[in-house]
Amino acid sequence: MAAEDPRPLGNAAIAKRLASLAQLMAIRKENPFKVRAYRRAAARIRSVAESLEQMVHDGGDLTRFAGVGEGVAAAIREIVLTGSLAKLERLREESPTGAAGIGDYPRLDLRRVLRVYKKLGIDSIEELRERLESGAIERQFGARMAQHIAQGIDEPRAMLLYHADALQAALEAFILDDAAVKRVEAAGAWRRRVEIVEDLVFLVETDDFPALARRVQRFGGDTPLVAQASGRATFKLAAGILLHLCHEDPAHWGLGLIRCTGSGPHLRKLHAITGSFRELAASPESFADEAAVYARFNLDYIEPELREGRDEIERAGSHSLPTLVTAADIMGELHAHSTSSDGAHSIQDMAGAARDRGYRYLGMTDHSQSLKIARGVSVADLWAQIRFIDNLNERLADFRILKSSEVDILEDGSLDYPDDLLAELDYTVCSIHSRFGLGRDAQTERILRAMDNKHFNILGHATGRLLLKRPGYEIDIGRLVDHAKQAGCFFEINSSPDRLDLSAEYARIAALAGVKIAVSTDAHSTREFPLIRCGIDQARRAGLEKSSVINCLPWEDLARLFRRA
């Protein structure tokens, strides 16, 4: 016993075993739903605050975690009680050379890796890494494959803000549970609402910081401490991102919160005005909150979403910061799908849910005819849908369903419906769903041509990016913004947590040029309307005011904007 590693069995280690099992089962082409179940469970476990090991010893109910049923619970118990998982060990032994190694890299797609193995005549992750670094994989298999391997071979170091929200809440509750902790506030990129975060930062006030640092190491069973200094500690979370704790006393809370919130560029510009925070902290003045710090230097309070080191400090000095748009300003939804195409709920149900949120209108933007996989609506069916919505609207008071479509922009820049049909719609959202590989110039030309159609109103998810998955096609945002401005077109901030497209940077460029933006959810079910908050976060990071967001307008005003000459 004495020689054994005293480290507790963390949830990350348990999740890793389950993910490896899934990977090896996939190699053997076992039931793909079973494989997915193990993968899902592993992912869920990585953000659980309690120690699963402890729960097993205490006889706790593991199945209360979504995605963990009797089967996975039994596997977790086996891992905790015996230190291994018999099925995993067996599959490892039975797996062909090379395949077993892939089991340790659950983010690698097996079929792709095995193809690379075969073609290059290799059979280990080490050789795979070598070929990746030498550029052999990119040369022989292309950039996409190289990117996939690079992503899968390294530990994840970032997560979507949307997923980080739950982890942040779990951590905050865990920290507050410490009796010595008097106050805790989340800072960092999470507070600035950056769409992808690589760490979570908490500012804490406590009587015993070292004790808190010890306690946090038990989050999720085992959260290793990777660095420590006076009043600061850094941990590696099971989800792959880092956790920073910073101690601060009440008199300097505002200074600490600004410092921990960042960003680096914001702080550098700020320090040029304020001098070092260290000296401020040494002065007898109190900086109990952030506003006090900014005010001391005649700066207005700067919302965290704006702290990226652009022009926010100058504007705070000239008292001309924007009044950022909020979710409460949104009057309606302009991008949503129903069962007419690939949505989960009927037009009536979607409208009911939108109305329950207090919206005044909902645009039904089902996919257009070319997008077969999403059950794109045929010309005849869209005519029928137009009449159907007209009928519904006659029976609705104080709410309007807008006749629309998410119209595919075809490869030649034409729109996916004839003009006489488009003319019957209240407005259109036009998007690219195919031929992502055209290249920057061709893609830009394609969209410019589409904008020349007078029935084009809003450009949907302008770059097609999927965060942490796919970079999106390149566009010349400057040309598109100019053209949109001239033609009277608008952009969209798509609120899907893995899109958030336009980016804050592009949205800012559009808004500065006077091109207004729709903040939309792209909801495929009634449950997705609340995702608007993710798009609002992005809009705020772009510095957008209510006046720059078209769906902050009542429909009557919006209708005028959509009528192009």
Q: Given the rule CB under 7 A, which residues bind DNA? A: 31, 33-34, 36-38, 40-41, 63, 66-73, 109, 111-112, 115, 140-142, 144-145, 342, 367, 371-374, 411, 433-437, 461, 464, 466, 470
**Least distance from DNA to the Cβ atom of residue 141, Å:** 6
From residue 356, alpha-carbon distances to 309, 353, 550 in Å are 39, 5, 21
**Least distance from DNA to the Cβ atom of residue 439, Å:** 11
Using CA atoms, how far apart are residues 299 and 380, in angstroms rounded to an integer?
A: 59
For the chain, the residue count is 565
Angle 284-287-289 from CA coordinates, rounded to 5° = 165
**Least distance from DNA to the Cβ atom of residue 177, Å:** 25
Using CA atoms, how far apart are residues 370 and 33, in angstroms rounded to an integer?
A: 30
Selection from 201, 160, 12, 211 nearest residue 495 by Cα:
160
Minimum CB distance to DNA smaller for 329 or for 366 = 366
* H, E, C per residue of 364-382: ECCEECCCHHHCCECHHHH
Whether 331 and 360 have beta carbons less than 8 Å apart is answered as yes
Minimum CB distance to DNA smaller for 199 or for 408 = 408
Selection from 453, 534, 544 nearest residue 506 by Cα:
544
**Least distance from DNA to the Cβ atom of residue 470, Å:** 5
**Least distance from DNA to the Cβ atom of residue 38, Å:** 6
**Hey, what are 150's tokens?**
């690079």
Using CA atoms, how far apart are residues 346 and 337, in angstroms rounded to an integer?
A: 9
**Least distance from DNA to the Cβ atom of residue 67, Å:** 5
**Hey, what are 30's tokens?**
């076992």
**Least distance from DNA to the Cβ atom of residue 341, Å:** 8
Minimum CB distance to DNA smaller for 308 or for 408 = 408
Minimum CB distance to DNA smaller for 118 or for 268 = 118
Minimum CB distance to DNA smaller for 121 or for 437 = 437
**Least distance from DNA to the Cβ atom of residue 277, Å:** 44
**Least distance from DNA to the Cβ atom of residue 502, Å:** 14
Selection from 82, 96, 84 nearest residue 21 by Cα:
84
**Hey, what are 84's tokens?**
């291994």
Minimum CB distance to DNA smaller for 35 or for 402 = 35
Minimum CB distance to DNA smaller for 373 or for 397 = 373
182-200 residues labelled b (16+ CB within 10 A) or e (exposed): eebbbbbbbbbbbbbbebb
Minimum CB distance to DNA smaller for 312 or for 492 = 492
Whether 201 and 260 have beta carbons less than 8 Å apart is answered as yes
Residue the block writes with tokens 């963990």: 68
Minimum CB distance to DNA smaller for 297 or for 436 = 436
Q: Which residues pair with 415 in a beta bridge?
A: 409
